[in-house]
Amino acid sequence: MATDAPRRGAAIGWYVLLSALSLIVLFPVWMTIARALSDGSATLFARTPSVLPYSPIQWDAFSRAFTEGGLGRPLLVSGLVTLIIVAAQTATAVGAAYAFAFLEFPFKRIVMVLCAATLLLPIEVTLIANIQTLQEVGLVSPSQGFGEAIGALTLPFLAQAFGIFLIRQGFLGIPKDLRDAAQLDGYSDLGFLRRVAVPVTRPVIGSFVLIAFLSAYNQYVWPRFSVKTNRWDTVQLALRRFGLDNPDQLNLGFAAAIIAALPVLVLLLVFQKQLIRGLTAGAVK
């Protein structure tokens, strides 16, 4: 009992510190909401900057981001592109991981090294050569159509080494007895993959799906140069549209930024544990 008072004092101290840190972390978000709610001209011509929204407050900024800002189509493009990339990356990674974890075949080591080495060749390094290639085959051009744009946005990311090795690690965690039991039960390789290996490693695969979603949806550099017409802008690219030169729509850019972050935020809140496991894979044990 005697230690209760100082304990409570310490706890209050921690709460104060944690709250202060939370305010600092969240402050930029608040500023973005405040500017999204402010009238653009008021923002541009405010003499002393304020942390509060400038009046008249524009409650409709978020809906106008869709109507005047045309955010609907980029969201659809982003959704489709993300869906394709996540589905393809998961499928290709599961397949390749299975081969690396459970099958014996000639040149296995070399193939593994070649896959791992692609981690050294991020899209930023190969950017201009890849754009060149896609221009030559007609996927990247000012007149690119819907299919071409989607192709250009997704093709380089249909497979990716990080996922292969993450999921392979998960597969290697399956006890040998379980594999043997499955073989005696009569499962073929593909049957074992579908009915046992994938369900058993679902946590790992789930984490990977989240990570893949995050990086596919948040991409900027590759879409920036593979999409040559703003008809097929992704959400991230659409954020460039709202400049200072159009005071009427200035706040829509900030509203759009909030909207753009929402899907990932929802994922973060719903699948916090899995997402964190994915993000920390490789960092700790």
Partner 1 sequence: MSSVSFDHVTKRFGDTTAVDDLTLEVADREFMVLLGPSGCGKTTALRMIAGLESVTEGELRIGERRVNDVDARDRDISMVFQSYALYPHMTVRKNIESPLVATRHARPAAAERAARVREAADVLDLAPYLDRKPGELSGGQRQRVALARAIVRRPQVFLMDEPLSNLDAKLRTQTRLELVELWRRLEATFIYVTHDQVEAMTMASRIAVIADGRLQQVGPPQAVYDRPANLFVAGFIGSPPMNMIAGEVDRSPLAGPLRVRTAIGNIPLPTPPTTNLHSVVAGIRPEHLRLGGSDLSVEVLNVEQLGHERHVICRAGDARWVVRQAAHEPAPAVGERVGLGVDGASLHLFDPTSTERIA
Partner 2 sequence: MGKRRNVRQWALAYALLLPSLVVFAVFAYLPLYRLVHFSLYQQSSRLGGGERYVGFGAVWDVLSGERFLQGTWITIKFLIFTVPAGIALGVLLAMAAHRRLKGIKIFQTIFSSTVASSVAVSSVVFLTLVNEQIGLLRNVSWLSLKSPNSALFAAALSSVWQNLGLTFVIVLAALQTVPEELLEAAHLDGYGAVRRFFRVVVPLISPALFFLAIVLVVYGFQAYAQIELITGGGPLRSTETLLYRITKLQKNTDLQVGASMSLGLFGLTFLVALVQFRLLERRVTYGN
Which residues of this chain interact with partner 1, rule CB under 8 A? Answer: 175, 177-178, 180-188, 191, 195-196, 199-200, 202
Give the shortest CB-205-to-partner 2 separation in angstroms. Answer: 15
Angle 158-230-216 from CA coordinates, rounded to 5°: 25
Taking CB within 5 to 8 Å according to partner kind, which of partner 1, partner 2, none is near residue 80?
none
At position 275, the amino acid (one-letter code) is: L
Q: In terms of CB distance, is 67 or 132 closer to partner 2?
A: 132
Give the shortest CB-192-to-partner 1 separation in angstroms. Answer: 9
Q: In terms of CB distance, is 159 or 196 closer to partner 1?
A: 196
Residues 131 and 229 sit within 8 Å (Cβ to Cβ): no
Give the shortest CB-171-to-partner 1 separation in angstroms. Answer: 14
Q: In terms of CB distance, is 123 or 196 closer to partner 2?
A: 123
Q: If residue 141 lies in a helix (H) or strand (E), which one and from where to where?
A: none
CA distances from 191 to 153, 186, 187, 197 (A): 33, 9, 5, 9
Question: 68-104 b/e with 16+ CB inside 10 Å = b?
Answer: ebbbeebbebbeebbebbbebbbeebbebbbbbbbee
Give the shortest CB-182-to-partner 1 separation in angstroms. Answer: 7
Taking CB within 5 to 8 Å according to partner kind, which of partner 2, partner 1, none is near residue 200?
partner 1
Number of Cβ within a 10 Å radius of residue 134? 20
For residue 95, what are the contacts with CB-CB under 8 A and spacing of at least 6? none
Q: In terms of CB distance, is 67 or 188 closer to partner 2?
A: 188
What SS3 state is found at 38? Answer: coil
Q: Which two tokens stand for residue 244?
A: 């200072």
Give the shortest CB-231-to-partner 2 separation in angstroms. Answer: 18
Q: In terms of CB distance, is 150 or 197 closer to partner 1?
A: 197
Give the shortest CB-176-to-partner 1 separation in angstroms. Answer: 9
What SS3 state is found at 66? Answer: helix
Taking CB within 5 to 8 Å according to partner kind, which of partner 1, partner 2, none is near residue 182?
partner 1
Taking CB within 5 to 8 Å according to partner kind, which of partner 1, partner 2, none is near residue 169?
none
